[in-house]
């Protein structure tokens, strides 16, 4: 029998994305490009194990915010902020299973540009996102930042979180996402990475008040 995608080459493997049998060439060429590959597909898992990280020339330098320096000290001192931001991404992606890596990267990038503008000029301008899914992801992150500040206010009487620190956290996650994703249109490698940080059955937060005490603050 022939491959259900190309209808030319002989089929040799079952593809859960099309619920049919396809050839290895179509599997390799269409994986995470036209095919919504489930995370437990053995061929996707095998490909990721042997896939080399994307080289620097495959990523637009402007997309990495290289003008912003993030020190090891920042990462150590703001571990709970980074955890909170990552949890917000996981929460958004679980609420909308259609989200891909590029959607989370788009949301993080727009937020980072917005915070960079605030830090440098004091202007509050929100660049519109192209899809409802991306907007919801961005809103989830903004909600987390607001709850972080509210939790600080509740626990120590004031909020010390600066916009520049939020910016650094967002840029850190943009760089992490760019390094984790395969770059293919339907890649969910970064999505699955944030899921792994907060497994669904172990999610420590279901309510905002719990987020403040169990994730954000020591």
Summarised one tens digit per residue, pLDDT across range 49-79 is: 888 877 777 888 899 999 999 999 999 999 9
Please give the model's pTM, rounded to 2 decimal places. Answer: 0.86
Distant-in-sequence contacts of 47-52, Cβ < 8 A, 24+ apart: 48/182, 48/189, 51/182
Q: Is the pLDDT of residue 205 over 70?
A: no
Centroid of chain to Cα 101: 6
CB atoms within 10 A of CB 140: 20
Residue 143, pLDDT above cutoff 80: yes
Task: Grade residue 117 by pLDDT with cuts at 50, 70 and 90.
Answer: very high
Compute how many other C-beta atoms are within 10 angstroms of the C-beta atom of residue 18: 16
Phi, psi angles (nearest 5°) of residue 132: -60, -35
Length of the chain: 218
């Amino acid at each position: 029998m022939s491959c259900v995608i190309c209808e030319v080459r002989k089929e040799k493997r079952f593809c859960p994305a099309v619920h049919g049998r396809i050839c290895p060439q179509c599997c390799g060429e269409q994986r995470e490009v036209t095919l919504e590959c489930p995370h437990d597909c053995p061929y996707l898992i095998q490909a990721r194990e042997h896939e080399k990280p994307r080289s620097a020339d495959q990523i637009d330098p402007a997309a990495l915010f290289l003008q912003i320096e993030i020190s090891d000290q920042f990462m150590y001192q703001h571990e709970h902020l980074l955890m909170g931001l990552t949890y917000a991404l996981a929460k958004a992606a679980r609420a909308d299973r259609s989200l891909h890596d590029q959607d989370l990267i788009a949301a993080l990038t727009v937020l980072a540009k917005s915070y960079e503008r605030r830090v440098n000029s004091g202007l509050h301008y929100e660049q519109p996102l192209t899809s409802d899914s991306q907007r919801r992801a961005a809103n989830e992150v903004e909600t987390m930042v607001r709850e972080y500040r509210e939790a600080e206010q509740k626990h120590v009487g004031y909020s010390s979180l600066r916009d520049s620190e939020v910016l650094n956290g967002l840029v850190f996650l943009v760089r992490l996402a760019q390094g984790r994703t395969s770059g293919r249109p339907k890649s969910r490698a970064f999505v699955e990475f944030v899921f792994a940080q907060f497994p669904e059955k172990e999610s420590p937060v279901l309510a905002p008040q719990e987020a403040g005490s169990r994730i954000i603050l020591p």
